[in-house]
Amino acid sequence: METRQLGNSNIYITPIILGTWQTGKRMWVGIEDSESIKAIRQTFDSGITTIDTAEVYGEGHSEKIVGEALKEVRDKVVYATKVFANHLKYDDVITACHNSLTNLQTDYIDLYQIHWPSGTWNSEIVPIEETMRALTDLKQQGKIRAIGVSNFSREQLTEALQYGEIDSIQPPYSLFWRIAEKEIQPYCAEKNISILAYSSLAQGILTGKFDTNPTFDQGDHRKNNRLFQSPHWERVQTALTQLKPIAEQYNCTLAQLSIAWLIRQPKTNAIVGARNAIQAEANAKAIEVNLTPEDVFKISEIGYGVTQYLDDNPVMWNFD
């Protein structure tokens, strides 16, 4: 699979990235470690060599599964992980990084990201200068190779850049969730910052697998996703109906079509989860879908049928 430069770093990532939130199990149901390991290994075998995880995914469980699955090919993969909002003081960042290194069974992390800005999720407010100083020190020590942020606004990204080099930002971004296009994407194009889009299939909606009345088991956080809720859900159904003929034209799935569209947006790479090896292999095949500029535009217009009614709140979920 082709690779792309990560920001201004000397790291090269695949345009499709394996996301491993589900691998941590917490806030998901029906996840088995053995299937997760098979999915990760199939992802690598299919040409996707960039893996995204976080310390908060199952309190380190996701990182441990990633490390176990790929320890024999560590030198051939790019690890991206994240420090959570409650660990942004200098010493806490250092400790969190060391814990992630242990979980991943490695002595360096390729991309280390601030998962959420200070103050979110009832966390203590820490000056970004302090957090960036810790990250810069880790980089100078060779424990991390590049610094990224996640869920930052343009203003927060601009402030962070005053205190160090940032090579990526990770926002929620998909055909059905496009707030990143308003300010983040133009700014990243100007500053040469890579976008790593999470929830790139709108948490499974863009696979077309849900029926008209989706239900979720207790503990599945997707029940709080605003796109699954009326009136957005009805617009989603209309858009999916319009997308299906285009997917058929390219002999691909709705998911592959959506990934192919996303990685053709400016500076954008798609983080995609996989519960099993079959999904992992299918995700990788999206790279083979060569959309024409006309169809990229057509797909964009269909997506606007959903996104034009959303507000500017970047958080996808209505958590209680």
Q: Which residues share a beta bridge with 146? A: 111
Task: For 43-103, give the DSSP string.
Answer: HHHTT--EEE--TTTTTTHHHHHHHHHHGGGGGG-EEEEEE-GGG-SHHHHHHHHHHHHHH
Annotated catalytic residue within 57, 79, 173, 187? 57
CA 276 – CA 49 distance, rounded (Å): 16
Q: What is the Cα–Cα distance from 300 to 38, expressed in whole angstroms?
A: 34
* Three-class SS state of 178: coil
The yes-or-no answer on residue 57 being catalytic is yes
Beta strands in the chain (DSSP E): 4-5, 12-13, 16-19, 50-52, 78-83, 109-114, 144-150, 168-170, 194-197, 268-273
- Would you please indicate which residues are annotated as catalytic (active-site) residues? 57
